[in-house]
Amino acid sequence: MPTAINLSENWLDKKRNITITKKTCKAPIALHMHDYFEIELVIGGKGVQNLNGNTYELKRGSVYCLSPIDFHAVLPQDELPLINISFAQNIISPRLLRLLIAHNKNKVIQLDETAFGKFEFLIDLLADGNETCDAESETYIKNLLECLIIMIIRHAGISQDAGSTNDSFPMQECMRYIFLHFNEAPSMKDISKMSGYSPGHFSKCFHDATGKTYIDFLTGLKLNYAKILLLSTNEPIISVSESCGFSSLSNFNRSFRKATGMSPTKFREQGEKLHR
């Protein structure tokens, strides 16, 4: 997998599947994606985030939850202290997982001081719980993390009526495989075998879970990664197309133009102008 994909196996605590860190960004963080979820709370300073091609101001109280279908870069102004919570999809409920994958608005929200205090307090409890090893630790961590996610959902105005309420859909391993292997263009038939469902039933469950067809979801991952390569490398367009798993250059150009309204070359040129 190309280096612009950050892998959970290199970052997440292998026992708890969650890592909590306080850090200060002093230098730009290049465009990237990851195969895990990430919550970040800015606790001071100022900066800018490029998220899915859009620019957002970051300051004290800025908070966002990113899924593996998002790509972003962070540009601090001087210093940007923040708290990062990275976690695997299998430690939260399937219902919250669906909400986080399906929503695509209000990605960065701004908390007032009252909400900021509550959010920071929950993070402190979560961090303390992550250092404790007893029979109740797993439940304690899961519940606190889900409280944080619900706070984000409420502040972002995310619709909580997202598809089926069937929590038995075994999507965790399927989604992880898709996030890790999207550039190999895995077929829906192959992924449905992992779930134990027929292709038809899997297709319905997948749409209920993500709000998208399997093909649209997979194409979105490919295109998001293409945007990263176009903005952060000098790879030829045909190489970008191949790296992202498109069957041909013409298919890549057609899909990219349909999604963005412009060609890959034009997208790269506009990105270069913004960074001059």
pLDDT tens, per residue, the chain with 276 residues: 344 778 788 889 888 889 999 999 999 998 888 888 999 999 999 999 988 878 899 999 999 999 888 888 899 998 999 999 999 888 888 788 878 876 667 789 999 999 999 999 999 999 999 888 888 998 999 999 999 999 999 998 877 654 444 444 466 678 878 887 898 999 999 999 988 889 999 998 888 777 789 999 999 989 988 988 888 888 999 999 999 999 999 999 999 999 999 999 999 998 876 655
Distance of CA 224 to the CA centre of its chain: 11
CA triple 95-96-101, angle to 5 deg: 100
Nearest C-alpha neighbor of 213 from the set 104, 88, 102, 107: 102
Six token digits for residue 196: 């134990």
Angstrom CA distances, 47 to 16, 27, 62, 63, 119, stand at 31, 11, 10, 13, 20
Contacts of 230 (CB under 8 A, 6+ apart): 240, 264, 267, 268, 271
What is the SS3 assignment for 117-158?
A: HHHHHHHHHHHHHHCCCCCCHHHHHHHHHHHHHHHHHHHHCC
- pLDDT, one tens digit per residue, over 93-138 is 878 887 887 666 778 999 999 999 999 999 999 999 988 888 899 8
Report whether 88 contacts 18 (CB < 8 A): yes
**Share in percent of the chain as helix, strand, coil (round to 5):** 50, 20, 30
The predicted pLDDT at position 172 comes to: 67
Task: For 176-220, give the DSSP string.
Answer: HHHHHHGGG---HHHHHHHHTS-HHHHHHHHHHHHSS-HHHHHHH
pLDDT tens by residue, 156-169: 887 765 444 444 44
- The structure tokens 């292998």 sit at 14
Angle at 92 between CA 221 and CA 120, to 5 degrees: 100
pLDDT (0 to 100) of residue 165: 44
Task: Put residue 157 in one of left, alpha, beta given phi > 0 → left and psi -120 to 50 → alpha.
Answer: left
Cross-strand partners of 74: 29, 49
Rounded to two decimals, what is the model's pTM? 0.76
Structure tokens at 208: 């209920």
